Structure 1
Amino acid sequence: MKINRPDAETSARMARIRQKGTKIEVAVALALRDLGLHYRKNVRKLPGSPDFANKSKRWAIFVHGCFWHHHTGCHRATVPKSNRRFWLNKFRDNMRRDARSVRLLRREGYRVVVIWECQEPRIRDKLAKILESGSVNS
């Protein structure tokens, strides 16, 4: 069974959505700097290319958009009405890929934190999970 792709208008609208340098990513970067944590961005050599990572301290952070990564229970995780099957499959695949990336990183000994777009007020609490598991300051 063939699943239709979004129409040209929808594709153009979705293409305009920022992928890097989003408000939540900037807020996470500021919080990491305030905590004195050193990091690299979009580390392609690690599973899932975490948005922020420190290989020597073995921690990684993913910053997920609630829509694209389909944050369970979040009001931003809507499913478009047109081409519903395509979107449900896309969200399912994104969620599986995300879970696999986290699993692989943890298997390699990384502490992993996922920060959702809607969790901006809780960034520091989420980052504390990295700090409490061991000394990450440097």
Structure 2
Amino acid sequence: MTTPGGERIRVVVATPGDDAADRAATVVARGLRDAGMEVVHAGRLSPEALAATVVQEDADAVGLPCSGADAPVLLARLAALLADRGVDDVVLFACGADADPPGPTRVFPPGRPAEEITEWLRGRLGR
């Protein structure tokens, strides 16, 4: 998907956890790519390394496949790290958990189709 200026939405997908999260990251990355987004599949990264990658890649959004109660904590930590770097316009989301994080983030329950994530990202990014 391209923006009005001709640029595609750029999403970094990274894994904070186990092998199941690695598989989920691959599924999410493929779904977003198939929807026309530019996806950087960054692999397993600490929140600090992920924040640095987001800045380096000039990402529009970040997706974290993770489970359970980890999602809101990881999203809050990443948001704080990005804010420390002066980044406040990156959309954050997690997949594979059933939680309701505070702020402008979203957690998609397990098994949600990539189209739902794609439409949400387009809406959040105004594209």
Determine helix, strand or coil for the equivalent of 1:119: coil
Is 1:105 aligned with 2:82? yes
Structure 2 gap ranges (5+): 1-17, 98-108
Mean CA deviation greater in 110-119 or 37-46: 37-46
Determine helix, strand or coil for the equivalent of 2:33: helix
Give 4+ residue runs of structure 1 displaced > 4 Å after superposition: 43-48
Distance 1:46 1:130, change over 3 A: farther
Give the deviation of 1:28 after TM superposition. Answer: 0.5
Is 1:49 aligned with 2:41? no
Give the deviation of 1:27 after TM superposition. Answer: 1.5
TM-score (norm 2): 0.51
Q: Kindly report the root-mean-square deviation, in angstroms, between the aligned alpha carbons of the 2 structures.
A: 3.6
Determine helix, strand or coil for the equivalent of 1:66: coil
Give the deviation of 1:126 after TM superposition. Answer: 2.4
Determine helix, strand or coil for the equivalent of 1:39: strand
Deviation track 1:99-125 (CA, whole Å, cap 9, x = no partner) reads 221344366121111112552234321
TM-score (norm 1): 0.48
Where does residue 11 of structure 2 map in the other structure?
A: none
Where does residue 59 of structure 1 map in the other structure?
A: 61
Is 1:28 aligned with 2:19? no
Deviation track 1:51-108 (CA, whole Å, cap 9, x = no partner) reads x9693352111111337x2x6xxxxxxxxxxxxxxxxxxxxxxx54442213443661
Aligned length: 92
Is 1:114 aligned with 2:114? no
Structure 1 gap ranges (5+): 1-16, 72-94
Distance 2:21 2:112 in 1: 20
Structure with larger Rg: 1
Identical residues among aligned pairs (%): 12
Distance 1:97 1:48 in 2: 13
